[in-house]
Amino acid sequence: MNAAPDGPPRPQRGDELELSIDSLAFGGEGIARLGDGGYVVFVAGAIPGDRVRAVVHKRKRSYAHARTLEVLEPSPERIAPTADHPGVAWQVMPYERQLEVKAAQVEEALRRIGKLDGFVMEPIVPALEEWRYRNKLEYSFGGGENGEELVCGFHAPAGGNRVTAMEDCLLASERGNLARRVALEWARGEGLVAWERGGRGERGRRERDERTGPAADGRARLRNLVVREGRSAGKLQVRIVTTDGELEAGALAQALSKALGDELSGVLWTRSRSLAETTQGGQTELVWGDGELPERLGELDLRISAEAFFQTNTEMAELLYGIVVEYAALEGWERVYDLYSGIGTIALTLAPRAGELWGIELIEPAVADAIAAAQRNEITNVHFFAGDTRLALPELLERAGRPDLLVVDPPRAGLSKKVVRRIIEASPKRIVYVSCNPTTLAPNAAELVEGGWVLRKVRPVDMFPQTHHIECVALFERV
């Protein structure tokens, strides 16, 4: 372990440390400090009050990241885990404590990062279900611990590169787990293998062809299995993602249909040449059934295409959008803009309560889904078009006029400064901001306050129990 010039010890990659955890970071890792200088180590798999043995897998000048190898002295708050699952690190805290931490982190981000005050911090909305709440799971294929038997599960915690086997994913429904098991057993019976994941930095066409091409026998290598569920109808959509190569995808569909019967909506096959660990992109074909998954969200009848974004907790999405409706406080005459409108779920929820509604979305297939949903639900006062918000918002202002209400539901990275400037130029009377990351909401909120709005209230919503993720809705009103 080296010492920094100003004193605090700086661990090296691979060092094993004994650490005492005193708090939780926004990303869900425990926080420990070394030496008098307080060199920070973020520790995956640890909670406040734990004393752990951890291995460093990443280091910077002022902080390092480590993963827990052993809990030496458990926190008084620590409880026994329910699920053997690498993605639910907070399951070792009582659910009530999870809610307290999440609510506190939202408020802390707004006050410390955004330097905001005077807003009402409303009580967090707890999840309706603590387990089996996800409507979409993206599993990875891998070689397991011995590198030989094909497994279908999730990546190991921070710093690990292998895929851990999964017997029963407690975030998925029973039918969703059945679909995964059937697909895995079919793939094992076919003698298929997983593709080889590599580290960062691979370059060149030859390397790409070797990594994303077929196995030696010409058959595709397995990358991912995406299982999506329409919760209202109990229907499943299964998509297998592979490298290039041959695949008897029809036989997979037959095995799934035999096991799931009427609960299977459709089977799709995506061939991807990406070196990134992603299920997006590539060439997707419908193998069997329907290419769109039926779902209901409140009063809306939806059809979700394979790669479209949809909130992964259907029941809590209804509560989340209910808060948007409440904060919007529409009277029926207003002009509403919905930025990053996706497949139109927020816009279509608000449209019957507004005079007119305009949605902007960059992804053209999502815009097509939104238009089709509006037609299916006989909503006629909503208009969707494809465009980059940064460029499209000024055009929309010229075409439709200034909005009375602007709703925005951006990605985790939040709004860029240019988009914030465009919103300020649009000058809506009220802004409803739906955030999945309080650390990016906070600076955006500060920019909007500086631009002439007041942050009135914020309400966190727990969409993802047992994890650190938290959604919230914020209301801004122009001074």
Amino acid present at 175: R
Distance CA(118)–CA(115), nearest Å, equals 11
**Which distant-in-sequence residues (6+ apart) come within 8 Å of 397 by Cβ?**
425, 426
Is there a contact between 243 and 277 (Cβ–Cβ < 8 Å)? Answer: no
Q: Which of 155, 142, 237 is nearest to 196 (CA)?
A: 142
Which of the residues in the chain have pLDDT under 70?
1-9, 144-147, 157-161, 198-210
* pLDDT at residue number 4: 47
Is there a contact between 339 and 415 (Cβ–Cβ < 8 Å)? Answer: no
Domain boundaries, the chain: 2-78, 98-128+313-478, 136-297
Sign of CA dihedral 324, 330, 332, 337: negative
The span from the first CA to the last CA of the chain, in angstroms, equals 54
CATH number of 2-78: 2.40.50.140
CATH number of 136-297: 2.40.50.1070
Distance CA(427)–CA(423), nearest Å, equals 6
380, two tokens: 């006629």
Out of 152, 169, 436, 472, pick the active-site residue.
436
Identical fold between 2-78 and 136-297: yes
444, two tokens: 């955006």
* pLDDT at residue number 201: 45
Using left for φ > 0, alpha for ψ between -120 and 50, and beta otherwise, residue 346 falls in: alpha
pTM attached to this predicted model: 0.91
Using left for φ > 0, alpha for ψ between -120 and 50, and beta otherwise, residue 290 falls in: beta
Q: Label the pairing between strands 120-121 and 453-461.
A: parallel
* pLDDT at residue number 441: 98
Helix 174-190 and helix 249-260, axial crossing angle in degrees, nearest 10: 140
Q: Which of 242, 307, 246, 316 is nearest to 280 (CA)?
A: 307
Q: Would you call 169 a catalytic residue per the annotation?
A: no
DSSP character at residue 157: S
* pLDDT at residue number 264: 98
Distance CA(346)–CA(471), nearest Å, equals 15
Sign of CA dihedral 451, 454, 459, 460: positive
* pLDDT at residue number 202: 47
**CATH class given for the domain over 98-128+313-478:** alpha beta
DSSP character at residue 246: B
Q: Which of 271, 274, 269, 263 is nearest to 240 (CA)?
A: 269
